[in-house]
Amino acid sequence: MTALAVSAVTPTPVPVLPDLGNDGYQVAAYDLTYDVDPSTSLLPGIARITAVADRRLSEFRLDYAGGTVGKVQVDGRDAAYHLDKQKLVVEPAAAIRGPFTVTVDFTADRAAKVPSPVDDTAGWANSPDGGFAWFGQPDRAHLFFPCNDAVEDKAYFTFHVTVPAGWTAVANGPLVSRHDTKTASTFTYASSHPFAPQLAQVAAGKYALVAGTGPNGLPLRSAVPDPAAAKPMLDQLPSFLDWLQERIGRPFPFETVGVLGAATRPMQTDALETQTLPVFEADALTRPENGYVVVHELAHQWFGDSAGIADWNDIWLSEGFASYFDHLYSAEHGGQSLADAFRWAYEVLDPKARSLGITPANPTRPDVLLGVGRGEGSLVVYALHEKVGDQVFHRIVDTYLDRYRDGSATSADFIRVATSVGGKDLGPFLRDWLYGSTTPPMPGHPDWTPKPSTSEGDRSAPAPRPGS
């Protein structure tokens, strides 16, 4: 396909996770209850789901795998059900349409191994003492609870988690209540903003809760195993948030934020932007040189969390912007300049991907999904900035974040925003960068030369920076 043809028509990307999510309904809210026993990998839970069917349904599906189901009720009546691969198929006693509720008694298994086209190692981060944290991106949330594991189906969440006395449970959103007995503690958290299941977080373990205050009085709350070891990083949270608010040009989009230090992590990633409570390997939070990783996950609270993505092909809208801002942070704090950081991506990484039919908005393969978003996706953001300059770039970003706050956007949506703010010529420019078969010229850098490679190599590896 020529660059001219790409400029005229936006192609339809190849679905990279076609089996994830379900049609026929949208979820409005999840209410999840767990009873944690550290001596076993089994985690009994109850999922109460409020949803709206957009047509008459005599059967519907939830995503669920790696556990068992004891009972399903729809609108308070027992429903027939069966498990089919990674789907929970529900047949209500009477067909549903419009608002309905589903209650699922289930038991997740934290030791279950469930195949993934992205990475089998993602999902549960289990600690040696029986604690755990969640890494749900992109296709693991349904290991934790039955859900519509669709990236665009945002919902409100409430969590009730009972842990042994002396343990702490944390989850997305503010702590609503805590009830202690001699043997157990029950923590309840509730979100004030909706989010996709892949951004859900529940962790249980011997955590210390560390409170603080961020910009404009923003309540900070973090959970770490060793607050003294993490103190240098925790003390920087207000300055990280100040820097991001200034560079992005908008206040923090949620009601609270903090970091979670998990004792272990899946092999897939070093960190994840779970909404209001991004999770990191605990040891990483003890090393101040990892500040750019924390900045990356905090940037996601605007890009990918508040303004979500409507399809996994659009991951560059999340990873690309978060990676751009973590590179910018590094450049302003003694690291590589932006030009030095992105020149290698332009000359080597991007042309190699395009020679394999992989582009930022059409990754084509689930195993390269996240790496393409961080690497080639951030290059698109850099190119846009170089094309339009600071003032227009920030007007585009501000308009985009305002329009899609608490919602989800496609690449086409972003192109529409950019052209409405910056002019019609940005349409062909962005389509070439997002879908073109060859790397376009980099504005402001005529000396940069793409170096295409036809060798397959290892394109499954992410861009050479940690984080998600």
Average pLDDT, stretch 291-301?
97
User: Average of pLDDT values for 398-422?
Assistant: 98
Q: Beta strand pairing status for 175-180 and 168-171?
A: unpaired
Average pLDDT, the chain: 93
Phi/psi of residue 340, each to 5°?
Answer: -65, -40
pLDDT tens-digit readout, 216-259: 999 999 999 999 999 999 999 999 999 999 999 999 999 999 99
The whole-number pLDDT of residue 467 equals: 56
| CA nearest neighbour of 413 among 395, 431, 400, 398 | 400
Q: Give residue 466's pLDDT band: very low, low, confident or very high (50, 70, 90).
A: very low
Strands 156-164 and 25-35: parallel
pLDDT value of residue 1: 34
Q: Which residue, 245, 375, 393, 249, is CA-closest to 320? A: 375
Q: Which two tokens stand for residue 211?
A: 């409170």
Of 264, 308, 256, nearest to 282 by C-alpha is 264
C-alpha closest to that of 286 among 211, 228, 330, 210: 228
Supply the pLDDT for residue 117.
94
> Domains in the chain, start-ordered, CATH in brackets?
27-203 (2.60.40.1730), 207-302 (1.10.390.10), 310-435 (1.10.390.10)
Residue 461 has pLDDT above 60, yes or no: no
Tell me how crowded residue 391 is: count the other CB atoms within 10 A of its CB.
Answer: 8
Q: CA dist 397 to 62, 302, 305, 317, 442, Å?
A: 34, 10, 15, 11, 20
For residue 147, give the DSSP letter. B
**Dihedral angle computed from the Cα positions of residues 385, 387, 389 and 392, in that order, rounded to the nearest 10 degrees:** -90
- Kindly report whether the peptide bond that precedes residue 138 is cis, defined as omega within 30 degrees of 0: yes
What percentage of the chain has pLDDT greater than the value 90? 90
Q: What is the pLDDT of residues 183-220, one digit of tens each?
A: 999 999 999 999 999 999 999 999 999 999 999 999 99
pLDDT for 328 equals 98
Q: Vertex 237, ends 234 and 238: CA angle to 5°?
A: 130
In contact, 7 and 433? CB cutoff 8 Å: no
Beta-sheet pairing, 260-262 with 279-281: parallel
Residue 468 — pLDDT band, cuts 50, 70, 90?
A: low
pTM of the predicted structure, to 2 decimals: 0.94
